[in-house]
Amino acid sequence: MSVLSNIASAVKNTRLVPPTESSLASSKAKDENTQQLSTPQRPILQITSYNRFTPPTPKPDLEYDCRITQNPSRQSRQTCTGVDASLQEELMQRNSFVDLLSQAEDEIKRMMEVKDARAKGEGETVILRVGCLCGSGHHRSVAFAEQLGKIKWLEEWEVRVQHRDLTEGVEDMKRGRSDEMKR
């Protein structure tokens, strides 16, 4: 009993001091960091275009070979990349391109459901990697990836489109050719 009375006396004689601004800010920052760590991130649909010679790392979960559709016109290839609307429109006129796009949409949606279900049990961030390849990684695969990026996917998924082989130098060269042809 004397131990308890000693503790009670110590508590009774303890003076409470209000927290300082810096200790409040520090505590708040720790709480936010803890919340970020415990909140699972949104699942990611990573769509990447690339050339046929160098496969990406890590390997995509799904891969689409855009070489099954005929190349865009020579003039389009010389002056545009797959990011350009005119080249995308040209390719969207081709059944082979539209069919592959439709097939990809269906397969990606099915894979999203599977990956999402697995991740919920494991509490990890889901990344569904989709690869789009063509000859140079500048035209068909880029247009295909851009079209996939425009599809209305599940709301909770974050969609990222990247073009591995479409560098600024390539885009500048195409723009330069386009400007020359307009003169």
3 or 113, higher pLDDT: 113
Q: What is the pLDDT of residue 135?
A: 94
Q: In whole angstroms, give the CA distance from residue 28 to residue 22.
A: 10
Q: What is the pLDDT of residue 24?
A: 57
User: Half-sphere exposure of residue 88, counting CA atoms within 13 Å on the CB side?
Assistant: 14
Confidence of residue 82 (pLDDT cuts 50, 70, 90): very high
Q: In whole angstroms, give the CA distance from residue 183 to residue 178.
A: 9
Q: pTM for the full model? A: 0.73
Q: In whole angstroms, give the CA distance from residue 8 to residue 3.
A: 9
8 Å CB contact between 129 and 43: no
Q: In whole angstroms, give the CA distance from residue 88 to residue 71.
A: 12
8 Å CB contact between 117 and 74: no
